[in-house]
């Protein structure tokens, strides 16, 4: 019961932190919409062309804008020492990464879920594909959160090369992009592709506590 | 076999085997180039361009083999606290990157006359390109961390996580319908390649392997020295 209380307090703290910095999340969404506009301007206003590449554009931009907020995944807590305090309160490093992954999913990825329908209207994507887009993004965004946890914990001690974290996320998210765009474009294969996407999620979810926990431990020990 | 895990033992053995390995690689290269240019037949469909295979296939095998050995060393290094694995990772990653680059470039030179295009987005080609980028990221991680202890462990973790790409490369020609042909040699049944083409391929593979081992010995020795003098 005490442990559950601690988890609830952890999420309350995350909620407070994210609400005090709500402009960051809003900036992500503004970045997403601006990139959609820029894509439309560069392709041209032809409706046919836009609706064929629309799904791919939405997915690519979701990936890019979710990598924008990677720096504050662990960095702030690491630098002001909160990570160590949470660990001393009885959470193992692996468990912290799981909690943090879900908090990143809740506070950064879910706002994108709400902004997808507007992007669909702008990009002229037919309504029947919206369900597939939601399903694939629901699974894919949790996978992206896990990947973000791995890459941002790897880069805690990296003071020179800030872009490396985004590159690591992008290289591992190639299969997610392939299969999720595949789901939307070939709707008859829905079940098998969803299973593959779910399998990728489970693999990444299993690797995540080990890899990011080890990296957090390393960085805290050697700081 | 202790020289595979112990840096000082490795230094002793490496002094003995470096020159023989270098001489062997030169011999194998001479023999292999002779075989592949003059003593092997033209393909009945592809003509003389089939000779690109004698560079393309060995470099592809060695790119995969290098990554597989790096994965084993990373697991061993993290599990048994074995510093030689970290030294190996740092030293060998550029060699693997160069093998992958040779494979990609020779493949696209072969693809232009045969498929009519330098590059197609097929599963085998894409996954090898991803392997190349993974090698590059390993090198970048090595360059961008200040703290050596953190750096080498992060590299090892990244190598282990990135090793999911290896089975994808190997089985990509079986899982998807690709333009790239399926495996003809590295399969359980009898190889479906003629012995007259098999011979130069094997010789060139040994030549590539020997030159790779020679460069790896040089780089590992340099890495050990730089660690002893605490340069990085």
pLDDT grade for A99, boundaries at 50, 70 and 90: very high
CB of A171 less than 8 A from some CB of B: yes
Mutation for A interface: B161, B169, B176, most A CBs within 10 A: B161
Confidence grade of residue B187 (pLDDT, cut at 50, 70, 90): low
Cα–Cα distances in angstroms (integers) from residue A97 to residues A78, A81, A217, in the given order: 13, 16, 11
Q: What share of chain B is helix, strand, coil (3-state, %, to 5)?
A: 80, 0, 20
Residues 6+ apart with CB under 8 A from B212: B62, B66, B95, B99
- Do residues A147 and A173 lie in contact, with contact meaning Cβ atoms separated by under 8 Å? yes
**Which structural domain, as residue segments, surrounds residue B79?**
50-182+216-232
Q: What is the DSSP letter of B39?
A: I
Say if B159 falls within a structural domain: yes
Taking only the tens place, the pLDDT of each residue in A15-63 is 998 888 888 888 888 998 999 899 888 888 888 888 888 888 888 888 8
Query: Hey, is the C-beta of B154 within 8 angstroms of any chain A C-beta?
Result: yes
Separation in Å, CA of B165 to nearest CA in chain A: 9
B147 touches chain A (CB under 8 A): yes
Question: Considering the domain boundaries, does residue B26 fall inside one?
Answer: no
A175: its two tokens:
């299969």
Query: Which residues fall within 8 angstroms of residue B106, CB to CB, at 6 or more apart?
Result: B52, B55, B56, B59
> Is there a domain that residue B30 lies in?
no
Tell me the Cα Rg of chain B. 19
Whether B122 is in a domain gets the answer yes
> B169: number of CA atoms within 13 Å, CB side?
21
Residue B231 placed within a domain: yes
Q: What is the pLDDT of residues A127-166, one digit of tens each?
A: 878 888 888 888 888 999 999 999 888 888 887 777 888 8
Picking from A51, A59, A73, the residue whose alpha carbon sits closest to that of residue A152 is A73
Q: How far apart are CA A3 and CA A123, in angstroms?
A: 46
Dist. CA B193–CA A213, nearest whole Å: 48
How many domains, in total, are found in chain B?
1
Give residue B189's pLDDT.
67
Asked, for residue B178, whether it belongs to a domain, the answer is yes
Q: How many CB atoms lie within 10 A of CB A164?
A: 19
Q: What is the DSSP string of A69-111?
A: GGGGTTHHHHHTTHHHHHHHTT--HHHHHHHHHHHHIIIIIHH
pLDDT tens sequence across B39-97? 887 777 777 888 888 899 999 999 999 999 999 999 999 999 888 999 999 999 999 99
Would residue B190 count as lying in a domain?
Answer: no
- The pLDDT tens digits for A180-215 are 887 777 766 778 888 888 999 999 999 999 999 998
CB contact under 8 A, B141 and A164: yes
Prediction ipTM score: 0.85
B39 found inside a domain: no
The answer to whether A214 contacts chain B (CB < 8 Å) is yes
């Amino acid at each position: 019961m005490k442990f559950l209380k601690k988890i609830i307090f952890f999420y309350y703290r995350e909620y407070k932190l994210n609400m005090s910095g709500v402009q960051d999340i809003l900036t992500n969404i503004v970045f997403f919409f601006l990139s959609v506009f820029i894509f439309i301007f560069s392709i041209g206003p032809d409706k046919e062309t836009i609706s064929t590449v629309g799904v791919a554009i939405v997915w690519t931009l979701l990936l890019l804008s979710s990598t924008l907020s990677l720096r504050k995944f662990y960095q702030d807590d690491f630098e002001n020492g909160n990570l160590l305090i949470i660990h001393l309160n009885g959470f193992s490093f692996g468990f912290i990464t799981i909690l943090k992954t879900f908090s990143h999913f809740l506070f950064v990825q879910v706002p994108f879920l709400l902004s997808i329908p507007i992007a669909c209207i702008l990009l002229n994507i037919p309504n029947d594909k919206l369900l597939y887009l939601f399903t694939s993004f629901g699974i894919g965004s949790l996978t992206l959160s896990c990947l973000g946890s791995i890459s941002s914990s790897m880069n805690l001690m990296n003071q020179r090369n800030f872009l490396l974290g985004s590159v690591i996320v992008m290289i591992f998210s190639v299969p997610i992009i392939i299969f999720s765009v595949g789901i939307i474009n070939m709707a008859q294969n829905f079940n098998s592709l969803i299973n593959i996407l779910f399998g990728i999620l489970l693999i990444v979810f299993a690797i995540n506590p080990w890899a990011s926990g080890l990296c957090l431990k390393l960085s805290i020990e050697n700081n | 076999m202790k020289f595979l895990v112990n840096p000082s033992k490795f230094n002793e053995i490496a002094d003995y085997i470096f020159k023989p390995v270098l001489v062997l690689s030169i011999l194998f290269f001479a023999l292999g180039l002779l075989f592949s240019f003059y003593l092997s037949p033209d393909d009945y469909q592809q003509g003389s361009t089939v000779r690109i295979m004698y560079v393309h296939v060995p470099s592809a095998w060695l790119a995969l083999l290098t990554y597989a050995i790096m994965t084993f060393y990373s697991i061993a290094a993290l599990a048994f606290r074995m510093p030689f694995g970290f030294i190996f990772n740092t030293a060998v990653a550029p060699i693997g990157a160069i093998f992958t680059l040779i494979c990609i470039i020779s493949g696209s030179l072969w693809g232009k006359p045969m498929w009519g295009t330098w590059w197609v987005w097929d599963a085998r080609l894409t996954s090898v390109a991803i392997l190349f980028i993974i090698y590059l990221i390993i090198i970048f991680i090595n360059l961008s961390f200040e703290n050596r202890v953190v750096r080498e462990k992060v590299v090892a973790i990244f190598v282990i996580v990135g090793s999911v790409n290896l089975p994808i490369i190997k089985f990509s020609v079986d899982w998807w319908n690709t333009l790239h042909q399926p495996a003809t040699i590295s399969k359980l049944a009898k190889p479906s390649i003629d012995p007259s083409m098999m011979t130069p391929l094997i010789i060139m593979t040994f030549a590539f392997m020997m030159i790779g081992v020679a460069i790896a010995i040089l780089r590992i020795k340099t890495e050990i020295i730089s660690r002893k003098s605490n340069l990085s």
